[in-house]
Amino acid sequence: MTRVTPESPPVQPEPAPQPEPAPQQALPQASAAAARNAVTEWIITIILLLFGTTTLVQAFVIPTGSMEDSLLIGDHLLVDKLAYAPAGPVSRHLLPYTPVKRGDIVVFRYPADVRQTFVKRVIGVPGDRIRIVNKEVFLNGRRIEEPYKVHKTSYIDSYRDNFPSEPNTRVDRRAEEMLERHVAGGELVVPPGRYFVLGDNRDSSLDSRYWGFVPRENIIGKPLLVYWSYDAPTHRLAGPGFQLEHWKDLATNFISKTRWRRTFMLIRGHAALQ
C-alpha cells in the first residue's frame, strides 16, 4: 500500500530572476499547445506555492513503495486540494477545476480507515468495465497500455493478477461487497460516485482489489509536484510524531541522500487512459 503522510508545508524561497529568453522560431501548433500547457501548470504551481494554505495545497510524504517507480519512498509532494473541488458559479471561471479522470494520480482518504491517506492511480471511473488477465488490464473490452506500471514478481497470482476472481487472501468487507454486487460477465463494473484505483507497483500494492472502490467524497486532491525527495526507509516516514533517528539521519546525510534530480518534478496523469 502507499500511504501519504501529511506534513507542514515548507516555506518556499523567492525564485531567482531569470534572463530573458533568446528569440526562437515559431513552434508547430502541437508543440506550441504543449508549451502553453506546461507554462500554465507552472503558473498555477507558483501561485499555489506563494499563496496556498492547507485549504489550497498541502504537503505530504510517500512512506511506502506501491506507486514505484512513479513516486518513490521519501518523495515529498505538494497536493492541489482544489483540483476536484465542486466549482461555484464564479470560481469555475477563475480556477482550474477538473473531473477525476482515468490515469490521474489521486490522494484520498483510505476507505477502510479515513484517518489514513493513500495515493494511487485511477484506472476506472463510473460506468467503466474492468478486468485483469495475467497482469494485463482490460478497460471496457480493450487492453490498455500502462507504461508507468512495474511488475516485480514473475509468477501469476490467481486473484491479484486475474481479477475479478475468488480471493485467495483476506480482503476487506468492502472488497467482498464489490465482488458480490458489481461483477457482470466476468468484469467489474464501477458504480456511480465510485472509482477503481491501482498502485503502479502492481504486484506490491494494497489497492481497490483488496478494499474496494474509492468514494468520490474521499478524494482529497491531486499531486502537483515533488518539491523534495529523500532516500529514507518506510519505518522512519510512516511512524507517528517526531523521530530522533530520522532527524539525525537528515543532519548527517541531507546532501548525499537527497534525490536532487526529482526536485520540482511535475506529477502528471496518463492521458492515454482518458
Catalytic residues: 66, 120
β-pair type (142-143, 265-266)? unpaired
Q: Buried b vs exposed e over 133-148: b needs ≥16 C-beta within 10 Å?
A: eebebebeeeebebeb
Q: List CB contacts of 70: < 8 A, sequence separation 6 or more.
A: 105, 121, 148, 200, 267
Q: What are phi and psi of 126, to 5 degrees?
A: -50, 130
CB 119 within 8 A of CB 64: no
By CB atoms closer than 10 A (0-12, 13-18, 19+), residue 63 is buried
Count of residues making up the chain: 274
